[in-house]
Amino acid sequence: MQAHKLTVALFAVSFTSALAINALAQPAAPAQPTSQTQPTADRPTLIKRDTAGNLIRVDSPVEYAAVAALKLSDDEKAKIAIIFAEYENTLDGALRHATANISRVARVVEENNNAEIQGKLNELDKSAPILRDRTALRISLGKAMTNENNAMFTGIMREYMQQAAGQAQREAQSQNRKGQIGLMAISEARRVGAMDVRASLQRIGAKAMPTLAAMLPASGINAASITIMQGKLDEFKAAFPDGGSNADKSAAFMTALNMISDDQQRVLVEALYKQFAPETPPMKKVETEVPEAAPGKKPEPASEPVLQPR
């Protein structure tokens, strides 16, 4: 499988479950706000549009957003919570081995800079291939649901990714770029991975917040950056004397982090992941051996790569 081939790359970009195939085969229609795109009791959806008819992209990885749109039983919710917790633990541990671009990836999500997302995610993919191939996560989530909810879960994601690819195509064309729908589908899939990176950094930041001020001098960042960070931490402490919620901690951490330069961010992020991310081996793709063919017959194709620690 070679990343420079578009067709193969598309299937590798988290859509082996046929989501990208549909996004390519069925370009989204021009944005028109209609009642059909609004959620109903029987048809949950992630499709929301602004007053100009443009798609409002979800602010979390599409799997999380799709789950949140469903009406789940307590049993389903409990199983899914475990799956997400395990996934997040695995992802945080994998990103521990590739911290250089984490803060930048998190920021370009906010900047809606899909072009830069592509490049900045490359290094992270090598240590965290689950960012690109999300099939295992989606299958696990589907198995935790009823058949009906699983079907809606898949449909919600398919619909959203098709519309997101169409939105990206229109945005590209408005900037006098071709915006081929296949490339736009890949771009939107990469956005999902980038949002997972941002969520990971937010989790690590929330864990670090209670002791961050004390660890700054030993983190490796310079004195000017320490002063800037300390000032934002003092503001947070004054605003949340009780410590605040995890969401409060994450937001304050990201605000403080973005006050210092990119190179200082990289130094601090590396120190934080070393201290707060799970200490797990980096992941790699393991290809199964192709069985030897009988005389006169073609060999069977190798199975899909399996992610294993090395």
More confident residue, 106 or 123: 106
d(CA 272, CA 266): 10
Residue range 276-294: average pLDDT? Answer: 62
Residue 28 tokens read as 């989204």
Q: Is the pLDDT of residue 92 over 80?
A: yes
pLDDT tens per residue across span 241-256 = 999 999 999 999 999 9
More confident residue, 294 or 155: 155
d(CA 225, CA 231): 10
Mean pLDDT of the chain: 81
Give the model's pLDDT for residue 231. 95
Give the model's pLDDT for residue 41. 53
pLDDT tens per residue across span 130-184 = 888 899 999 999 999 999 999 999 999 999 999 999 999 998 899 888 889 998 8
Looking at the structure of the chain, the number of domains it has is: 1
**Contact (Cβ atoms closer than 8 angstroms) between residue 300 and residue 291:** yes
Q: How confident is the model at residue 299 (pLDDT cuts 50, 70, 90)?
A: very low
Residue environment code for 167-186, b if the CB has 16+ CB neighbours within 10 A, otherwise e: bbbbbbeeeeeebebbbbbb
248 inside domain: no
> Smallest Cα–Cα separation from 91: which of 62, 59, 124, 68?
124
113 inside domain: yes
Q: Is the pLDDT of residue 189 over 50?
A: yes
For residue 83, give its domain range.
6-200
Give the model's pLDDT for residue 132. 87
Residue 47 tokens read as 């499709």
Give the model's pLDDT for residue 108. 80
d(CA 128, CA 197): 10
Q: Is the pLDDT of residue 20 over 60?
A: no
Structure-token match 């403080």, residue found: 256
Terminal CA-CA length for the chain: 20
**Could you tell me what percent of the chain has a pLDDT over 70?**
76
Give the model's pLDDT for residue 99. 92
For residue 96, how many other CB atoms are within 10 A of its CB? 25
**Contact (Cβ atoms closer than 8 angstroms) between residue 228 and residue 260:** yes
181 inside domain: yes
Residue 16, Cβ density class (10 Å: 0-12 exposed, 13-18 middle, ≥19 buried): middle
153 inside domain: yes
Secondary structure class of 286 (helix, strand, coil): strand
254 inside domain: no
Q: Is the pLDDT of residue 237 over 90?
A: yes
300 inside domain: no
283 inside domain: no
For residue 263, how many other CB atoms are within 10 A of its CB? 10
261 inside domain: no
Give the model's pLDDT for residue 130. 87
3-state SS of 16-66 is CCCHHHHHHHCCCCCCCCCHHHCCCCCCCCCCCECCCCCECCCCCCHHHHH
Q: How confident is the model at residue 112 (pLDDT cuts 50, 70, 90)?
A: low
